[in-house]
Structure 1
Amino acid sequence: MQLLSSRKWRAAAAGAAALALILTGCAPGDSTFTYTPPAQVDGDLAEETVVPMQDAVNAAMAAAGASGAIVGVWVPWSGSWVAATGTQEPGGAELSTDMSFRIADVTRLMTCDVLYGLIDDGVVKADAKVPAYVSGVADMKDVTLLDLCNGTSGAGSSEDVVKSSWLNTPEREWSPLELASYGLGRARVPAHTTYRDSDAGYLLLGLALERASGMSASALIAKYVAGPLDLKNTSLPGRTAAPPSTGPVLNGHYSNPVEGGFDCAAPADITTLSASSGYTDSGAVSTITDLGRYAQAEAAQVLRSKKTPDRFAAPLPAYDGAPSWHQATGGAQIVGSMIGQHGWTPGYATAAYADPATGFTVVVVLNNSTTGGSIAGNLAWELAAIASKAPAASGQTVPEFGLPFTAEQFHQAIAERALPCVAPPAEEPAEEPEG
């Protein structure tokens, strides 16, 4: 895999520097919002750090059946690495770091930003019950809006039921309540006390916030997230099937199953899709530098205008048997000291994580969603483990920062999840007509 050309490296450096700008915009409410990100060394990470990270990206691409990846790593005390690796499809055009893509489950963080913005503005209360804003869910009379954000509603997930429909009819426009109903129809777990990965919960939360505010989910994310942070390439698109943006776009794919595995050599293109398939769970789009800036600000909770309720105060295990350093709440996965999210949406697997104290940030996207979101998440953590050991630049000091895992354990996890890529059976030649 080749790294960026010199022209693309200059564009990447400009994108990396953009993280260090002071962002001023219209904040929720009437006040003026100003955000100054942590100071960032203006320069590239050392080769000794970049080389193993590039090797990790190459391995993850192969495991995911992806032809391309875009990554951003910002180490405030050492430097940054923003790179596009691979091609749009096997044998296709090179990628660039300014391409837009679907950010999958990172959308959940933004939906919870809107909830907390509306709480801070006095529009809704955290303990408001879901049926007060969403019809047809009377059995959730004890479930709150905060439960939906925290993943403690008890509801299940819809994706296993509707995945084939997403892939086969990407232009279909979904009703959020219809989409959520497949998860709501599953057996529930006890509410309030157990975290459960539930796309249905974030779909319902989006509906509730729309009805409470009288604004569309797209307008709410623009007002409470993209606008204040000056994320010019970040939005929740409308329902009409379209590529992620009208500018440069990373093409998204999935690999079709064939006997013995998957056809990775000729993946199906699913770049054009209705964002209603993800809505407020996984429908938003962004670019690598926008998403890096967002992840850094999100981890530090700079969008909050009030201190209570404390969004990340009471995390729960991310899954049964999860290590103590992997928890979840507030729409986020909390991995060691890093806060973020990862997941998949048709065509893309995305992850974005940042450390609130230092601003250390890692963002990745792979352009094949066949293996789901785990490889993207594991790649982000592997890159974080490598980059966390980056030496301090001249005049800088390495902060007291460490992670409770190693790059090797996630490199191995990625290998174990590798897509079994096989060549499809050759077509038999047509028989010659007799005579």
Structure 2
Amino acid sequence: MPDDTSKQLQAVLDNAVKLSGGSGGVAGVWAPWAGTWTAASGTVSHDKGADEMSTDASFRIGSITKSATCTVLLGLVGDKKVKLTDQVSKYLPRMVGLNGLTLGALCQNTSGFPDYWNSLIPQMVTNPTRTWDTVELINSGLGQPRVGAPGQTFAYSNAGFVLLGLALQTATNTSWASLYDKYVTGPLGISETTTIPNSSTLPSPAPTGYAADRDPVTGAVNCKVKDDDTDLSPTALQQAGGLVSNLSDTATLVHAVAAGSLLPSKLSVQQQKSIIVSKSTPSWAQYGLGVEKMGPLVGHASSVPGFDTAAYSDPKSGLTVVVMVNDSTAGANFARLVALQLASIGSKAKAESGKKQPDIALPWTAQQLGTVLPHETGCNPARGALTPELSAIADIGPNY
């Protein structure tokens, strides 16, 4: 990348680490016409004398897993194993309370199926290594009233993705490790992306993952105490967010999903056919089948105990951004805004000799996002009101 662009990108990453309360972070911007920038900031932990953060660090990519999960679903549709319109009850006939739920609606978060996240996240933060049974997570959703009629309302649900995972595993009689390998990681050759089925320990090198302590009963956040959630059990997230990866692999994954290279063109178009998330958010913030669409960018943001992560790619120009900070207190929207700020700067990188700079129309500016970010830090948000336009940007997607 040109020096001036690299300096701007590094400043964004350094500021993100500072605002997040984490000890460090990594980020990358890939612009085919200008070059590549990958960098680390800070250290792997808050411990005195801790090693510097490395761009090779492994981390939980959380809800970016949803993009991979729905790619598997569409791959199975392409192979005529299932249909998007299939009723979930077709594959899980013994489970009650699934009436009206379809595989496709679960992927687009329009099933109305309630989530377990808000009720169980305090326990996951304070007891990260606890093993969670799949049916236990699903029943936590089933035990709550429907958010809306199937297909009518966008309502983000990790429980819905866990239910989808169980349905597809039953439909194919195949493990999810094998499904991801067949439809996602195998074709891409990204060997560092894994579900770690038998262990919650992250592959080395790995930073410590922090989160502000939660009261297990009330859910109240105690910002004075930071829990070590590095060894969060993958059973807490499963097909909703259980994948672990690194900077390079995550970039490869999100670009492939955005470009549609893992699916036949018709199914790729189907994956990116999106709906507006909320009437109160900008119209350019939408959701497809396991993918967020932020203007022309396709990807996902995530917050799971220990890590905030976001990754997006522009299908036309190939512009791709990934960012991770090792403190999840701020939430997914914090990582989302940082990634979009990196994308704004990267989109303006000067083209190398002989290459043409693309015209990427992003409906936000790096300056706008820089103003909003201090209001998204969780424990120490900036004071003072934002303009209505910036307030809308401050809540452009799910915060977990």
CA apart distance, 1:256: 3.4
Paired residues in the alignment total 374
Q: Does structure 2 conserve the Cα–Cα contact (< 8 Å) formed by 1:106 and 1:351?
A: yes
Instruction: State the shift of 1:88 in Å.
Output: 1.1
Q: Give the corresponding residue for 1:122.
A: 80
- Cα distance, 1:282 vs structure 2: 0.7
2:129 corresponds to which of 153, 171, 174: 171
Q: 1:232: how far off?
A: 0.8
Decide which moves more: 305-314 or 198-207: 305-314
How much has 1:261 moved relative to structure 2? 6.3
Shifted more, 187-196 versus 396-405: the winner is 187-196
Q: Alignment partner of 2:266: what SS?
A: coil
1:377 to 333, 336, 353: 336
SS at match of 2:252: helix
In structure 1, stretches of 5+ residues that fail to align are 1-44, 423-435
How big is the shift at 1:320?
3.5
Report the alpha carbon displacement of residue 279 of structure 1 after superposing the two structures with TM.
0.2
The answer for the alignment partner of 2:208 in structure 1 is 251
Instruction: Report if the CA contact (8 A) 2:107-2:289 is conserved.
Output: yes
TM superposition shift of 1:382: 0.7
User: Secondary structure at the residue paired with 2:129?
Assistant: coil
Change (3 A) 1:237 1:261: closer
1:195 shift after superposition = 1.9
Post-superposition Cα deviations, 1:207-239, rounded to whole Å, max 9, x if no partner, equal 11100111111221122111010001001221x
**AA matched with 1:270:** D
In the alignment, is the contact (CA less than 8 A) between 1:271 and 1:347 conserved in 2?
yes
For the 8 Å contact 1:65–1:419, the answer to whether it is kept is: no
Q: How many Å apart are 1:241 and its aligned residue? A: 4.3
**Is residue 6 of structure 2 the alignment partner of residue 50 of structure 1?**
yes
Against the structure 1 CA distance between its residues 219 and 308, is the aligned structure 2 distance closer, same or farther, given a 3 Å change threshold?
Answer: closer
The equivalent position to 2:67 in structure 1, one of 109, 112, 124, is: 109
Asked if the contact 1:102/1:283 (under 8 Å) is kept, the reply is yes
Over 3 Å counting, the alpha-carbon distance change for 1:192 and 1:260 in structure 2 is: closer
Letter in 2 for 1:385: S
1:353 and 2:309 aligned? no
What does the per-residue CA deviation read over 1:348-401, in whole Å, with 9 as the maximum and x for residues that have no partner? Answer: 111110001111000011101112211111100011111111111111111122
Which residue type is aligned with residue 40 of structure 2? A
Query: Aligned equivalents of 2:121 and 2:43: distance in 1?
Result: 25
Question: Which residue is 1:24 aligned to?
Answer: none
Q: Distance in 2 between matches of 1:302 and 1:309?
A: 8
Q: What amino acid does structure 1 have at the position aligned with 2:205?
A: P
Q: 1:304 to 1:260 in 2, by over 3 A?
A: closer
Pairing of 1:17-166 with structure 2 (within 5 A): 45-90=1-46, 91=48, 92-135=50-93, 137-166=95-124
Q: Which secondary structure state, in structure 2, belongs to the residue aligned with residue 202 of structure 1? A: helix
Q: What is the Cα deviation at residue 196 of structure 1?
A: 1.6
Runs of 4+ in 1 over 6 A off after TM superposition: 257-261
Cα 1:381/1:309, change in 2 over 3 Å: closer
Partners of 1:183 and 1:121 in 2: CA distance: 30
Q: Which has the higher mean CA deviation after the structures are superposed, 185-194 or 396-405?
A: 185-194
Question: How far did residue 306 of structure 1 move?
Answer: 5.8
Partner of 2:255: 296
The one-letter amino acid of 2:327's match is: N
Give the secondary-structure state (helix, strand or coil) at the position aligned to 2:269. Answer: coil
d(CA) in 1 for partners of 2:145, 2:226: 32
Q: Please report the RMSD computed on the Cα atoms of aligned residues, expressed in angstroms.
A: 2.1
Contact 1:344–1:372 (CA<8 Å) still a contact in 2? yes
Aligned to 1:328: 287
Distance 1:275 1:410, change over 3 A: same
1:35 aligns with: none
Question: Does the 8 Å CA contact 1:222/1:235 hold for their aligned counterparts?
Answer: no
Is the CA contact 2:17–2:41 (under 8 Å) kept in the aligned structure 1?
no
User: Offset of 1:84 from its aligned partner?
Assistant: 1.0
Distance 1:285 1:340 in 2: 16
Matched residue, 1:5: none
Shift of 1:136: 5.6
Is the 8 Å Cα contact of residues 71 and 364 (structure 1) preserved in structure 2? yes
Higher alpha-carbon Rg: 1
Shift of 1:113: 0.9
Q: Deviations over 1:195-214 (max 9, x none)?
A: 22111111111111100111
**Is 1:396 matched with 2:351?**
no
For structure 2, the residue ranges without an aligned partner over 5 or more in a row are 382-400
Structure 1 residues 102 and 147, CA gap change in structure 2 (3 angstroms): same
Letter in 2 for 1:85: S
Secondary structure at 2:183 match in 1 = helix
TM-score by length of 2: 0.89
- Mapped contact 2:337–2:369 kept (Cα < 8 A): yes
Q: Is the 8 A contact 2:193 2:243 kept in 1?
A: yes
| Cα deviation digits, residues 22-81 of structure 1 (max 9, x gap) | xxxxxxxxxxxxxxxxxxxxxxx1121122222221222122111111101001111111
Q: TM-score, normalised by structure 1?
A: 0.82
Map 1:391-430; keep pairs closer than 5 Å: 391-420=350-379
| Residues 76, 82 of structure 2: 8 Å contact kept | yes
